[in-house]
């Protein structure tokens, strides 16, 4: 039986970047995931995810994404493929600017870091971004150093690279039990009858993490969020540069979206709100009639050219949602050799180029400049989400 230095449980973006980073540190690594990889139900399996430095007053996330964007461009070069599209990021504001908003704080912090985002009034929005209804937004901020990543293709590309470097990829294996001796991990068992001999494992099971490790249930839950793909009758209005990645008064509505997808030919729009609590194994993951009504209303008011166009795909995608919205990356306090890396809380994909190094360092017992806020912590039930872009209508 092969002995692994590390078994990584889950091959979404947390798992694949962790496996790659650990293998680059010369460990013998095995990667487990149910079914095929990328798994169709994984949060990381998607046509696009936003990459933005805009995090309101939060400079640490802004720094992390700033470094990640260099990583995204390096991956484009390394793999000779445009996995990350630098389409820019547009923050639209409905209300007379209260200077303490997510948008204004992000704008000020970008300037503090030496960027020159544009501040647009209603007329400039109409002229530059004709997809939005005239007068729907009072002002906006446009930052060209941002865009979207084709996340499903990113996972597929990194997985192939990891395998090339010697990671043993084990699809159709679902971790079900951690075998321990004297509080120390000795093996990972799977539902499919596998036993993987190892002294160390990293659990990157996304929304399933609190179900695999119930001790995390008080601090992390699985929440479902609606996603819509719409086929525009006037694609010209929605292509870059007419439409970049956008946040439509996001902290007050949750709505955000993407330009026409270069491969799929659709406009993806989703809602970054509190979502619905979902048991990933038992509950349906569907977009409701109420979601669809809210979506159509949003379009009618703000993007009328899309209001009657056909929705060709919907999905309720799951966040691995910590109560405070920070990730969960730390060694298990009671099981020696077990590390958890999850809790993406709807905003981790953009950090992918920086994630692997952080997870591998923490799994080795080291410290990392961004690890502190993601460490194991006790969160009270009344803890609130802190990520400023998130629409928090509790």
In sequence order, what are the beta bridge partners of 71? none
Q: Which stretch binds ligand FAD (CB under 6 A): 20-28, 294-302, 345-353, 386-394?
A: 345-353
- Token pair, residue 294, equals 């809210």
For position 254 contacting ligand FAD by CB under 6 A, the verdict is no
Q: Which residues touch 250 (CB under 8 Å, ≥6 apart)?
A: 91, 102, 256, 272, 389, 390, 391
Q: How far apart are CA 164 and CA 161, in angstroms?
A: 5
List Cα–Cα distances, 187 to 6, 166, 328, in angstroms.
10, 20, 22
Count residues contacting ligand FAD (CB under 6 A)? Answer: 38
**Smallest gap, in angstroms, from Cβ of residue 98 to ligand FAD?**
25
Among 273, 337, 344, 356, binds ligand FAD (CB under 6 A): 344
Q: How far apart are CA 129 and CA 92, in angstroms?
A: 11
Three-state DSSP class for residue 143: strand
**Smallest gap, in angstroms, from Cβ of residue 69 to ligand FAD?**
12
Among 348, 354, 363, 389, binds ligand FAD (CB under 6 A): 348
Neighbours of 67 (CB within 10 A): 14
**Smallest gap, in angstroms, from Cβ of residue 13 to ligand FAD?**
4
Q: Which stretch binds ligand FAD (CB under 6 A): 4-12, 72-80, 116-124, 361-369?
A: 4-12
Of 126 and 377, which CB lies nearer to ligand FAD in the complex structure? 377
Among 104, 208, 228, 391, binds ligand FAD (CB under 6 A): 208
For position 329 contacting ligand FAD by CB under 6 A, the verdict is no
For position 10 contacting ligand FAD by CB under 6 A, the verdict is yes
For position 251 contacting ligand FAD by CB under 6 A, the verdict is no
- Token pair, residue 125, equals 């929005």
Contact set for ligand FAD, span 166-195 (CB under 6 A): 174-175
Q: How far apart are CA 173 and CA 240, in angstroms?
A: 40
Q: Is 10 left (phi over 0), alpha (psi -120 to 50) or beta?
A: left
Of 33 and 361, which CB lies nearer to ligand FAD in the complex structure? 33
Q: Which stretch binds ligand FAD (CB under 6 A): 159-167, 296-304, 313-321, 365-373?
A: 313-321
Of 9 and 120, which CB lies nearer to ligand FAD in the complex structure? 9
Q: Are 170 and 194 in contact (CB under 8 A)?
A: yes
DSSP 268-290: EEEE-S--EE--TTTS-----HH
Q: Which stretch binds ligand FAD (CB under 6 A): 28-36, 261-269, 371-379, 384-392?
A: 28-36
Q: Which stretch binds ligand FAD (CB under 6 A): 29-37, 86-94, 118-126, 232-240?
A: 29-37
Instruction: Please report which helix (H) or strand (E) contains residue 16, including its range.
Output: helix 13-24
The four Cα atoms 9, 12, 18, 19 give a dihedral, to 10 degrees, of 70
Q: Which residues touch 119 (CB under 8 Å, ≥6 apart)?
A: 107, 139, 140, 141
Binding site for ligand FAD (CB under 6 A): 9-15, 32-34, 39, 42-44, 49-50, 174-175, 204-208, 212, 225, 227, 270, 317-320, 342, 344, 346-350
């Amino acid at each position: 039986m092969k002995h692994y230095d590390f078994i990584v449980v889950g091959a979404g973006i947390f798992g694949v970047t962790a496996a790659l980073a650990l293998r680059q540190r010369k460990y013998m690594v095995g990667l487990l995931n149910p079914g095929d990889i990328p798994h169709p139900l994984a949060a990381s399996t998607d046509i696009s995810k936003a990459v933005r430095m805009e995090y309101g007053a939060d400079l640490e996330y802004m720094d992390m994404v700033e470094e990640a964007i260099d990583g995204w461009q390096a991956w484009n070069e390394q793999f000779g493929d445009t996995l990350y599209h630098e389409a820019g990021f547009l923050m639209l504001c409905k209300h007379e600017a209260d200077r303490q908003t997510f948008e204004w704080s992000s704008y000020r912090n970008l300037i503090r870091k030496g960027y020159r985002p544009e501040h647009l009034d209603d007329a400039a929005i109409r002229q530059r971004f004709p997809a939005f209804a005239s007068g729907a937004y009072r002002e906006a901020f446009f930052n060209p150093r941002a865009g979207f990543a084709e996340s499903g293709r990113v996972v597929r590309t990194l997985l192939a690279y990891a395998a090339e470097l010697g990671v043993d990829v084990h699809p159709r294996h679902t971790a079900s039990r951690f075998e321990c001796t004297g509080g120390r991990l000795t093996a990972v068992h799977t539902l499919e009858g596998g036993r993987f001999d190892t002294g160390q494992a990293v659990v990157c099971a996304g929304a399933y993490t609190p179900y695999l490790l119930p001790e995390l249930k008080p601090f992390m839950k699985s929440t479902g969020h609606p996603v819509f793909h719409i086929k525009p009758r006037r694609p010209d209005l929605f292509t870059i540069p007419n439409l970049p990645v956008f946040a439509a008064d996001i902290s007050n509505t949750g709505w955000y979206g993407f330009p026409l997808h270069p491969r799929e030919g659709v406009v993806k729009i989703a809602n970054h709100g509190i979502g619905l609590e979902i048991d990933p194994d038992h509950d349906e993951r569907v977009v409701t009639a109420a979601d669809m009504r809210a979506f159509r209303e949003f379009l009618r008011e703000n993007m009328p050219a899309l209001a009657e166009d056909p929705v060709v795909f919907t999905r309720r995608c799951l966040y691995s949602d910590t109560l405070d919205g920070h990730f969960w990356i730390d060694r298990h306090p009671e099981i020696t050799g077990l590390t958890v890396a999850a809790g993406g809380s709807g905003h981790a994909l953009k950090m992918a180029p920086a994630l692997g190094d952080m997870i591998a360092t923490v799994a080795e017992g080291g410290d990392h400049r961004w690890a502190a806020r993601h460490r194991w912590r006790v969160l009270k039930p009344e803890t609130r989400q802190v990520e400023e872009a998130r629409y928090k209508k509790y």
